[in-house]
Amino acid sequence: MVDKVNNPRDNSPMLLFQDDGGGMDPEGIRRCMSLGFSNKKSKTTIGQYGNGFKTSTMRLGADAIVFSRANRGSCETQSIGLLSYTFLRRTIKDDIFVPMVDFQILGGQQAPLTYGSQDDWDDSLRIILEWSPFSSKEKLMQQFEDLESHGTKVLIYNLWMNDEGLLELDFDDDDEDILLRNQSNTTVSSRSQSHKEMVQLHFSSTLRYSLRAYASILYLRKFSNFQIILRGKPVEQVRIADELKFTKSVTYKPQMGMGSEDVSVRITIGFAKEAPVLGIFGINVYHKNRLIMPFWKVVQEGSSRGRCVVGVLEANFIEPAHDKQDFERTPLFIRLETKLRHIILDYWKNNCHHIGYQEINSKQKGSDKHSNGLKQKAQQQPFAGQHVIDLSADVQPDVHVEKPVSLNEANAVHSVMEPTELSEDLEEHDSFDILAGTSIEKLSEENIQLFGRREELQRRETELKQTIEDLERELGEAKRKCTHLVTQLGIQKKQEQTAQRNVI
């Protein structure tokens, strides 16, 4: 459950996150609120670095207080932890100090559960009462009343404000949502006001400022064992793959390197249901069921090719960045980007006629004839100081001008783009797309080769360092042996000299 509640101290808004899960015992809440701790090594969970809770709460507000009740066998506990930037700043703490208090429930009665001294427990409670929204122990205990027998409640308060002195989060414009202030008014390029409104209302746009829209596509698979309730209303989950038409499934097997397990990834691709009225496009990349990159533009924005093509995949073979909003730029990621670009352009070429564009194959013959004429002319009269571009057969089939198949179909999208405008737009971009796409693919391949070269050099550098260490160790050993031999020779020489003197 996610909601807005009021701070009892000053009536300012607080963010509430509450669940009825298993809760955290005293050890669990300490792990949660400790920087850099994580025991999530599962192939199905996304946590890895142990900083998600801390960085996310601190991004929303200066302070957070956590209440958690857990049942572990016959042991029932209640724990409270305070993560307060305000407290640390105003008391000028050199280290991050997180006060926590625990209670054990025995016979329906709460008893302090201490892991250090009673004085430490009392100090932690005093700090929580002074710097949290709750000024008495009784008010703190009231926060456990709606947690039933187990669960966790997080309250984030002293929410951040923007440069204008207004809360970054907007709770007023929509009683059933939490919005990022002013983001919903972002300018959208459009040919008409009605089209602009349609674009702004689509979840591909609203997810950038609406928590409800973002939560609706946050998980790849339908969740059956839990529900997200935002401001009193359940979030309706949207599976992006179900919002597509003329879908196609493509299997991608990334090159994981020697000794790695074979990985097979299924990519679902299709046209947005609103095509061609809305030019929504992009790939939605999930990692372990969690959305990382929504509507990732792997083809050039503004290009005619790839218009309205949307894809979905779960990329568990690459690692997300620490903020879970992007992926690490590794050779695997670059190869994935290049492959996705090929898939989109190939899908568009073979299926664009389904949404009102003329089928490409029917125009190839005329295009080939036209390009051959251009090629001959260019070879006869090249520009001074310039290279002649060879429009070979390998590239030419992609040169095409898409336009609506019929006047009726063109009228269907009249409010978005006039047929002549659409044709002019496509004619303007197609030839450039081919050359630009080829350049991008070449750069991607060169990038991959450079990454591989860098890894090889790093490996060789490591080997050379190891060799140097081995040689230095052998040299040190040889020096020790030499010193030992010199010492032994000296002793032996002295013994011989002593023996000679004794004989004399």
DSSP string for residues in 401-428: ---BSSHHHHHHTTTT--HHHHHHHHHH
Query: H-type helices in 110-169, by residue range?
Result: 118-131, 137-142
Q: Are 209 and 179 in contact (CB under 8 A)?
A: yes
The pTM for the full model equals 0.68
Fill in the amino acid letter for 91.
T
Q: Are 16 and 5 in contact (CB under 8 A)?
A: yes
Distance between CA atoms of residues 159 and 7, nearest Å: 11
Distance between CA atoms of residues 453 and 447, nearest Å: 10
* Cis peptide leading into residue 397 (ω within 30°): no
Distance between CA atoms of residues 410 and 418, nearest Å: 7
Residues 499-503 have a mean pLDDT of 76
Convert the pLDDT of each residue in 211-252 to its tens digit: 999 999 999 998 888 899 999 999 999 999 999 999 999 999
Which residues, including other chains, have CB under 8 Å from residue 195's CB and lie 6 or more apart? 277, 278, 415, 416
Please choose, from the candidates 22, 111, 43, the residue with its C-alpha nearest in 3D space to the C-alpha of residue 314: 43
Residues 172-189 have a mean pLDDT of 78
Please choose, from the candidates 280, 326, 336, 329, the residue with its C-alpha nearest in 3D space to the C-alpha of residue 306: 280
Rg of the chain (C-alpha set): 33
pLDDT of residue 121: 95
Coil vs helix vs strand at 464: helix
Q: How far is CA 168 from the centre of its chain?
A: 22
pLDDT of residue 55: 84
Domain ranges for the chain: 2-160, 161-238
Higher pLDDT, 407 or 24: 24
Tokens 């930037």 locate to 85
Distance between CA atoms of residues 348 and 333, nearest Å: 23
Task: Please report the sign of the dihedral spanned by the C-alpha atoms of residue 370, residue 371, residue 376, residue 380.
Answer: positive
pLDDT of residue 428: 42
Please choose, from the candidates 295, 291, 329, the residue with its C-alpha nearest in 3D space to the C-alpha of residue 309: 295
Which residues, including other chains, have CB under 8 Å from residue 314's CB and lie 6 or more apart? 220, 265, 285, 286, 287, 288, 289
Q: What is the DSSP string of 246-297?
A: EEEEEEE-----TTPPP--EEEEEEEETTTTTS---EEEEEETTEEEEEEE-
- 94 band by pLDDT with thresholds 50, 70 and 90: confident
Q: CA distances (Å), 13 to each of 9, 115, 131, 173, 346, in order?
A: 11, 34, 16, 15, 50
Convert the pLDDT of each residue in 422-460 to its tens digit: 434 444 444 444 444 455 556 666 666 676 677 678 778
Q: Which of 42-51, 145-154, 171-180, 408-417 has the lowest mean pLDDT?
A: 408-417
Higher pLDDT, 370 or 175: 175
Query: H-type helices in 80-168, by residue range?
Result: 85-90, 118-131, 137-142
Distance between CA atoms of residues 207 and 196, nearest Å: 16
User: Starting from the edge strand earliest in sequence, which strands make up the sheet with 151-159, in order?
Assistant: 109-113, 100-106, 75-84, 61-72, 151-159, 13-19, 2-6, 229-230, 233-234
Distance between CA atoms of residues 191 and 276, nearest Å: 14
